Amino acid sequence: MAAIGAFTILKLFYDTYRLQKDTSGYLANCENVKVGMTLEAAKKVMGDYNYYERANRSEIWTFYNNEKTKQYFLTYPAPFAASEGTWIHFDPQTQLVTGVTCGEK
């Protein structure tokens, strides 16, 4: 039983380390994403395709702001204790990046 507990704790530490490594990479890559580039190019810059097989990948979110305009954006995991992560806003019609939020460093 102790072996299961030890394995679980080691796995938790490893998963936390891996998540922090991924989020640090997202923050570093975010600086290279520019408004006006294609969503496909932004995903390549962010390294999205390197992470597709794991849970620590981008997700598409939508919300309505006060003007009832639907907003679309990719969100990437935030580093530990950060107030916000990385967001890439885009226009679904043109597939162009319309805004970038590069979270806390």
- The model's pTM is 0.67
Burial of 13 (0-12, 13-18, 19+ CB in 10 A): exposed
Question: How many residues comprise the chain?
Answer: 105
Query: Each residue of 38-97: pLDDT tens digit?
Result: 998 998 898 865 554 555 555 666 666 666 677 888 888 777 766 777 888 999 889 999
Q: Where are the beta strands (DSSP E) in the chain?
A: 59-64, 70-76, 86-91, 96-102
Query: Each residue of 3-38: pLDDT tens digit?
Result: 888 888 888 888 777 777 777 788 888 899 999 999
CB 81 within 8 A of CB 105: no
Kindly report the backbone phi and psi dihedral angles of residue 31, in degrees, each rounded to the nearest multiple of 5, phi listed first. Answer: -60, -20
- What pLDDT was estimated at residue 61? 65
CB 4 within 8 A of CB 65: no
Give the rounded distance of the alpha carbon of 88 from its chain centre.
9
Provide the token pair at 63.
Answer: 């919300």
